[in-house]
Chain A
Amino acid sequence: MSFFMEVLLGGLLAGVMYSLVAIGFVLIYKASGVFNFAQGSMVLFAALTFVSLLERGLPFWLSFVISLLSMLLLALLLERLVLRHLVNRPPITLFMATLGLSYVVEGVAQALWGAQVHGLDLGIEDTPLELGGLMLSRFDLFAAGSAGLLVLLLSLLFNKTRIGLSLRAVADDQLAALAVGIRLQRMWVLVWAVAGLVGLVAGLLWGARLGVQFSLSLIVLKALPVLIIGGFTSIGGAIVGGLIVGASEKLAEVYLGPLLSGGIENWFPYVLALLFLLLRPAGLFGERAIERV
């Protein structure tokens, strides 16, 4: 029983890490209806910038602030050079643009900082922690705490500030928001920058786990089933979706894996996501699209 609980809890904590990436998608999708495939590349860009500055002798917080500013600059450039020119285009056009952007951001990140693998030590010891006879990871607990804090801050931003109100207005109806004087472009820059911040936090936590390297951009693949299950428009949904994906894939790997010759945890969450698509297409917390026909 304790082994089952360890697998379950380990999976839930891993799921929180997936949620961190998924939240970045949700932010941009909520505000602009764009499914930003470049979120993984943004995670890579942010983490690579941070670790490269750190290795050049800059203090932690200064590296963090400069990396954050670089994400803001990236957001500005994306809005000016790409998004502004694609306003009112079909969603598939915007999706394809972010797909292309993903490769551009990856390439620029490697051209700027090199292709070398970097270790990243956030100073959190990752020795196992015994709690009630269960072995848990200190690092994963810290990551879960960070994700919780991030969700809290984002909720405050969305629900308690004028900016949040404007963002919600843009998310609800872009034309109506424009009509009441909300500057769409500025909101887009802002939301991409906030997604950049989320990317930076995700990049630091994932980078400390994997090493800061190209594979960081592949973690988007873990976020996709999370989004399908949780819904594309809900931050809470991203958290719940992450927990479901994390727990189910670990349990499936341990208990079903041996029956299916192993290595199933990459595709198992997609099976689950497909089931959700069939039964609840908007996900658990997503907004149902209601159209007048």
Chain B
Amino acid sequence: MSWKVPKLVPRSAPMILLVLTLAAATGFAAVSHLVSRYTANQQARGRKLYAQGLTEIQASRYDGAIAAFRAALTCDSTNSQYQLSLARALRDSNDPQRLDEAESYLVALWQRSPQDAAVNLALARVAAHRGNIEDATRYYHNAMYGVWTSDPDANRDRARIELIQFLLWKNARAQADSELIALAAALPPDPNAHLQAAQLFAQVQDYSGALAQFEEVLRLDPSNSAALAGAGQTAYRSGNYTVAQRYLRMAVNANPVDANSRQLLASTDFVLRANPFHSHISDAERNRRITAAFAQAEERLTQCAQQLGVDLKATDNPPSSALPGLQARWLLTQPDLKLLRSPAETDLPDAIMDVVFQIEQQTAATCGPPQSLDLALLLISKKREAASQ
């Protein structure tokens, strides 16, 4: 079989170039048509596979979704949506080995449009899966300041909350707190949003921030029982027992089955009733509270010693046990109670309460958490320590 191509080309250079140009243009047009038809065909096939992948995702069948998204990408390899969905499926499949692949898809997408908030958020989640605070923070910030296709404000807040939760998980409280402050400043007047922010503030132990947010919720929705309970608990944890008592009482009234608030309210009442350092009490009341606390400390010490099997009067106790020493100190201080009424003994209340606090702290450490008045005395001791620091 012989194939001979007929001579079709003219003999002058301009004509040759003209013919070649025409041939190239024709070829280009023909190939364009071919490519566009092929591409359209492939895109239709890709859409079908993509829809199949989405169905698999909804059923949490990640392997099936990954296979479907991969197949969709073989039909339309540059489709950002397919790549993003595949990357998300790879990331969410809980297979650490697939994170690299997910990241590579996302990095490619990011290089194409670094301002895309969805891509940045997906990359942030990959970094969060890896526990990489630096990368996660960077990508979460990119997502917050990036371009969202819908509902940008809510999405930005959601991204920041996700970052805060990640930082809390990584125990990076200072960073989480700064993110929370930024979040709180831009929150809309929505009780739920402020409530979530307040709870996050409480998690990072920024109790003043948390209380401010709970109070903002109550300003918007005065009967919000969760906010009342939260404000009470936050005030309780920050040692602001007067405020705690007010909110906890309202919380219990609003929601009588809230056992936690009820318990905290009881403790708060004890604290407020037992605190000898309260500013608006008389000297007589202060002395009464000191005397009662001193007696309660002795009782707690005796109970704890019994629980541990330590004989406070014996001399052959193990050296590691601090209880006999505390008993000795208590006995040594006991005569000073009589001097409480003397106006010259200004340091005596502190000295007596120091013994009480030592006993409460030591017994809490060795015999477990205290109850009622002992708990109140322990809380007072902690507040006192915090104030002195």
Asked if A pairs with B, the answer is no
* Residues of chain A at the chain B interface (Cβ within 8 Å): none
Footprint of A on B, CB under 8 Å?
none
